[in-house]
Amino acid sequence: MNILNRESRERQLDPEESGRAGLVHAAAEATERSLLAGLGPQVDPNYAPHAYTTPAEQRVPTFGYANNIVEFPHRAPAPTVAPVPPAPAVAPLPEAPAFEAFSSAAPLPGFDNQIDHMPPIAGFDNNQAA
């Protein structure tokens, strides 16, 4: 039974049938190429996914229309942006010294708090008004 089925599936086509089978297939392919060339890839939105299964570097634009579908081989993908490292934790500010520390501090040399006793500046001193 299986043999009979296989034989019926593999029947020999007569020359007219073979000719028509090839012609119809060629016509379908020519029509597909023609429509894509004339109307662009939008004539078949599903064309790109199944038409190009080769790696990107092997893709060659064909038929002209394909330029609108396939990614050009020389167009390298955008570099991946490295993730930004987390900002270093901010160390807590040292606690501000108590106000008393300033009041008890010794006068700074040359610019002390005994300004009234500073010697007058030569030529432009603070006794000018007097």
Partner 1 sequence: MFNILNSIKGQHDEERRARRHRELIRREAKIGAELFGPIPEGVRREFFCLDEHTWVWHEEWTDQAGSRRAITTRYDVRPSGVLKAQDGQPYRYVSLEEGRRLLKAVRMYNQRVQGELYS
Rounded to whole angstroms, the Cα distance separating 28 from 21 reads 11
3-state helix, strand, coil split of the chain in percent (to 5) is: 45, 0, 55
Q: Which of 21, 56, 60, 118 binds partner 1 (CB under 8 A)?
A: 21
Rounded to whole angstroms, the Cα distance separating 111 from 121 reads 13
Q: Which stretch binds partner 1 (CB under 8 A): 25-33, 67-75, 80-88, 106-114?
A: 25-33
Q: How far is the CB of 6 from partner 1 (least distance, A)?
A: 13
Binding residues (CB under 8 A) for partner 1: these are 9, 13-14, 16-18, 20-21, 23-28, 30-35, 37-39, 42-44
